[in-house]
Amino acid sequence: MASFRTHIVTGSAVGYVGGSVVAINYWFFSDLTPFFVFLSSLIGSMLPDLDSDSGKPVCLLFDLLSLLGGCFAFYFCIQQNDLPVYYQIGIPPIVALIIRYGISTLFKKFTVHRGIFHSLPAALIIVLATAGLLRWFSEMAPLDILVISLAAGAGFVSHLILDEIYSLGFDGGRFKPKNSLGSALAWRSSSVPVTITIYLVIGLLVLIHWYLNIEGVKSPF
């Protein structure tokens, strides 16, 4: 398993290249999109390790996610003109606290490290969920949403590939794979109910996008 620092460096590099490609080819409408592509890939590269219960990286990750969640909630609240000001002040810190203490506790309780979070269907969920959130809560153009969501998926997959590379062990010039080889770039979990659940979540997210299409929210796909 690669270290947290290695994942951050790789996620930043993938995001930098992705943001540059988007900027050079003008695949954006908002000037901030290339930066969001970078940020999205960086966050995506950290997400698979959400399921490891102990250590600083997970705490740091939830600190970062709660901060981003609070900022996102604030951004959403100030766009709602008819929302009373005390809601605008009160909601963002509540969202941040729920992510930091509520969701992180649930994650620790229900996830197994190197379980379904380290898998390709989980990467697909990240792409669909990012696009869904941006479609629902932001005014971004479909092209911007598409490149930002794909960047989150690219960062996530970079983490999986890196974990697989670190599972390739060499002992005295001889190839000696570690037990974790093949557990990161997987299509399914060893548990059938978990595998069924993750594909049901993908189906649900596709349905949400379909519903948003009917509602007339512009589709990036």
For Zn ion, the binding residues (CB under 5 A) are 48-49, 163
Sequence-distant (6+) residues with CB within 8 A of 70 are 92, 93, 95, 96, 99
Distance between CA atoms of 153 and 50, rounded to whole angstroms? 15
Tell me how far, at minimum, the Cβ of 17 lies from Zn ion, in Å. 21
Amino acid at 81: N
Tell me how far, at minimum, the Cβ of 4 lies from Zn ion, in Å. 9
The number of residues in the chain equals 221
Q: Phi and psi dihedrals of 47, rounded to 5?
A: -60, -35
Angle, alpha carbons 71-76-80 (nearest 5°): 145
Nearer to Zn ion, 43 or 73 (CB): 43
Nearer to Zn ion, 1 or 131 (CB): 1
Tell me how far, at minimum, the Cβ of 118 lies from Zn ion, in Å. 6
Sequence-distant (6+) residues with CB within 8 A of 23 are 34
Nearer to Zn ion, 120 or 143 (CB): 120
Nearer to Zn ion, 144 or 164 (CB): 164
Tell me how far, at minimum, the Cβ of 107 lies from Zn ion, in Å. 14
Tell me how far, at minimum, the Cβ of 205 lies from Zn ion, in Å. 22
Nearer to Zn ion, 44 or 48 (CB): 48
Which residue number has the CB closest to Zn ion? 163
Nearer to Zn ion, 48 or 92 (CB): 48
Answer yes or no: are the C-beta atoms of 219 and 213 closer than 8 Å: yes
Nearer to Zn ion, 34 or 48 (CB): 48
Residue with token string 């399921």:
51
Q: What is the CA radius of gyration of the chain?
A: 18
Q: Phi and psi dihedrals of 174, rounded to 5?
A: -100, 140
Provide the token pair at 202. Answer: 């993908």
Tell me how far, at minimum, the Cβ of 149 lies from Zn ion, in Å. 21
Tell me how far, at minimum, the Cβ of 6 lies from Zn ion, in Å. 10
DSSP type of residue 139: -
Answer yes or no: are the C-beta atoms of 15 and 179 closer than 8 Å: no
